[in-house]
Structure 1
Amino acid sequence: MFKGVLLGFMAFAAYALSDAFVKSLKGSLPAYEAVFFGATLGLFALPFIKTRGDRWREVLVAQRPGLYLVRAVAGAVGSIAAVIAFTALPMAEAFALIFLLPIFVTILSVVLLKEHVGWRRWSAVVAGFIGVLVVLRPGFRALGIGHLAAAICALAGAVSMIALRVAGPHEKRITLYSAGVIGPMLLTGVLMLADFHWPDMHEWLLLLGYGLLAALAAVLLMLATQKAPANHVAPTQYSQMLWAVFLGYVLFHDQLDWPMAVGIAIILGAGLFTLVREEQVTLWWKRARMIL
């Protein structure tokens, strides 16, 4: 159990470092181009994720092709939006909005899956949006494309998570992982055709850090869920916020004021509470344990 949770923390540290690398590009490459190279490098994780009995064709062939397509498109949209958000916003502020994902999952569970949501989870939803208002303070500070991109990233991630809930019991791990890599790679590859910029050496190094660290994180997360239940590993994702504050301050000289810190704390608290209630009420962790 301890090893699994520790691996979870290591995985999300790698994800945070990956985000720091893409932020360091500072928009020198189009977001879709950065996502293309990141997703391509993400293929390096496939040999480690493939288990005995898996077939390579299952990278592209799914039992539920419609849900595979949903995850592919959501992965592409979410990845592009994440790159834009990290480029335009301080890391902690971008993460604060992206961590609305569990809140959006709750809402989509009602709309799409017709799940019953009690007053406790609805309270967490309201609290999460109050936290967003505290962070953004509309009318008191300028809002830009980065804020919109972070919210779109969270919504796309929630759509992908809902698709995982439905597809998880029917698909193999390699298929579930591949949808989130192949989709962004193909869709952004098409977008690149119109206006391709060949990266210079410095940009290549940043892209390598972005893609390989994300691939490493995926492998670590898989190992984590092999050693500990997914519901114990999932909350470790919130350690990304600590990394975001630290990396933002050290590498990018980001500053957090008190209202933003309070808003972030509210969003994180609401998200963690939602994760706990999701496990207690829906038990979807057991149905989809293999997806992480």
Structure 2
Amino acid sequence: MKGVLLAFASFAAYSWSDASVKMIEGALTAYEMGFFGAVFMLAGFPFLLKPDDRWTDAFRSSNRPLWILRFFSSAIGTIGSVAAFTYLSMAEAFALIFLLPSFVTIMSVLFLKEAVGIKRWSAVIIGFIGVLVVLRPGFRELSIGHVGAVFAGLSGAISIIVYRAMGPSEKNISLYGAGIIGVLVVLGILMIPDFRWPTLPEWAMLAGYGLLAALATILLMYAAYYAPAALVGPTQYSQMLWAILFGYLIFGDTVDLPMLLGIVLIIGSGLLTLARERARDVPLPTSVATDPQAAVVTKPDTQSDT
């Protein structure tokens, strides 16, 4: 119960973090918002270090090519996530990002050669049907936010696949470091041409974006220590409730019946995928948190297995 409650608190913090970046309303580029968000996220770095970890471990890896893959995919995912929450309602952004479990299933087959049964493929199909219901292509205009949300989901899926490929020997701090360093380097370069110094209110929103994400990451790590990933994973769908609440109270968004139906299908797809992962006793994390860093910090601590 303690782990599950911590997980709910973590995803509440992630939702507030996403709301903070949305409140900037695109006044800064996605590159700049992502970069400064990562700078503030560094505040959580010391809390993620285990007794035998060193700061330099963030740059070390037992598999450099996969570390580099996460380095770049995290940067792309951050850009996509910021764009999604800037141009879409929070509910719609989350709905598309929640395709992550379906992407994990597909990548598991393509890259890890995992055997996937009819139930998991059915979950994938249900998820993509849900996306079609939400997007209604041909009946409404699609934006860069929709593309960004899909890339954010892909980035999270790549993080999980990278961890599965690297195995439990890789340190959490290395995987976390690859993600946050990638954001700082790649987005730091991309933001230079259109850089504008943030105003004081924008600084407050950027601080909320980064610091709340750091807090959420720490809470999620402790949640995974006290509860198995099979119980932690489903709690991330509580973000949809926060998204609908924020959308109504702060941003003036509404959720129509087709979007609600699509959201139900996508969430159902994700829960079915998580259930099948649990039934197969997959020993690796199945977290589908939207933050690019969160997909790896749910790696079980060996101490929690005793």
TM-score by structure 1 length? Answer: 0.96
Following the alignment from structure 2 to structure 1, what is the Cα–Cα distance between the partners of residues 71 and 279? Answer: 29
Q: Contact between 1:41 and 1:208, CA under 8 Å: does it hold in 2?
A: yes
Residues 167/101 of structure 1: CA separation in 2 closer, same or farther (3 Å cut): same
Q: List structure 1 runs of 4+ shifted beyond 4 angstroms.
A: 286-290
Please name the residue that 1:78 is paired with. Answer: 77
CA–CA distance in structure 2, aligned partners of residues 25 and 34 of structure 1: 9
Asked if 1 retains the 8 angstrom alpha-carbon contact of 2:93 and 2:146, the reply is yes
Distance 1:11 1:132 in 2: 26
What is the match of residue 215 of structure 1? 214
Which range moved further: 111-120 or 59-68? 59-68
CA RMSD of aligned residues (A): 1.5
* CA–CA distance in structure 1, aligned partners of residues 180 and 118 of structure 2: 36
The 3-state SS of whatever aligns with 2:236 is helix
Matched, 1:241 2:240: yes
Secondary structure in structure 2 of the residue aligned to 1:78: helix
Amino acid at match of 2:101: P
| Alpha-carbon distance in 2 for matches of 1:61, 1:199 | 33
Check conservation: 1:168, 1:291, Cα contact below 8 A. no
Q: Report the equivalent of 1:129.
A: 128
Corresponding residue for 2:205?
A: 206
Is 1:16 matched with 2:15?
yes
* Deviations 1:6-49, CA, capped at 9 Å, x for gaps: 00000000000000000001100000100001111111111111
Hey, what does 2:54 align to over in structure 1? 55
Displacement after TM superposition at 1:290 (Å): 5.3
The answer to whether residue 290 in structure 2 is matched with residue 291 in structure 1 is: no
**Residues of 2 paired with 1:244 and 1:290: CA distance?**
23
Cα distance in 2 between the residues matched to 1:191 and 1:26: 19
Contact 1:71 1:180 in 2 (8 A): yes
Answer yes or no: is the 8 Å Cα contact 2:112–2:165 preserved in 1: no
Provide closer, same or farther for how the CA distance between residues 22 and 289 of structure 1 changes in structure 2, counting only shifts above 3 A.
closer
Q: Aligned equivalents of 1:177 and 1:248: distance in 2?
A: 30
Query: 1:273 matched to which residue of 2?
Result: 272
Equivalent residue letter for 2:77: G
CA apart distance, 1:223: 0.9
Aligned counterparts of 2:240 and 2:77: Cα–Cα separation in 1: 18
The amino acid that maps onto 2:12 is: A
Distance (Å, rounded) in 1 between the aligned partners of 2:92 and 2:42: 29
User: What CA distance in whole angstroms lies between the structure 2 residues aligned with 1:98 and 1:172?
Assistant: 26
Partner of 1:170, secondary structure, is coil
How far off is 1:204 after superposition?
0.3
Q: What is the 5 A alignment of 1:227-266?
A: 227-266=226-265
Residue aligning to 2:119: 120
What is the rounded CA distance, in whole Å, between the counterparts of 1:60 and 1:226 in structure 2?
A: 24
Alignment-derived partner of residue 44 in structure 1: 43
Check whether the contact 2:284–2:299 (CA below 8 A) recurs between aligned residues: no
Runs of 5+ consecutive residues of structure 2 not aligned to the other structure: 287-295, 301-306
8 Å CA contact retained: 1:278, 1:284:
no
Q: Indicate how the Cα distance of structure 1 residues 119 and 251 shifts in structure 2: closer, same or farther if over 3 A, else same.
A: same
List per-residue Cα deviations over 1:68-127 (Å, max 9, x = no partner).
Answer: 111111111001001001110000000000000000100011111111110000111110
2:36 aligned counterpart, secondary structure: helix
* Residues 168, 176 of structure 1: 8 Å contact kept: no
Q: Structure 1 unaligned segments of length 5 or more: list them.
A: none
Provide the C-alpha distance between the structure 1 equivalents of 2:281 and 2:27, rounded to a whole number of angstroms: 43
Cα 1:259–1:45 change in 2 (3 A) is: same
Counterparts of 2:241 and 2:200, CA distance in 1: 30
Give the structure 2 partner of residue 35 of structure 1.
34
Instruction: Quote how far apart the aligned CAs of 1:281 are.
Output: 2.4
Distance 2:17 2:210 in 1: 7
Shift of 1:280: 2.1
Q: In the superposition, relative to structure 1, how do residues 18 and 168 fare at CA in structure 2: closer, same or farther (>3 Å)?
A: farther
1:192 positional shift: 1.9
Contact 1:7 1:221 in 2 (8 A): yes
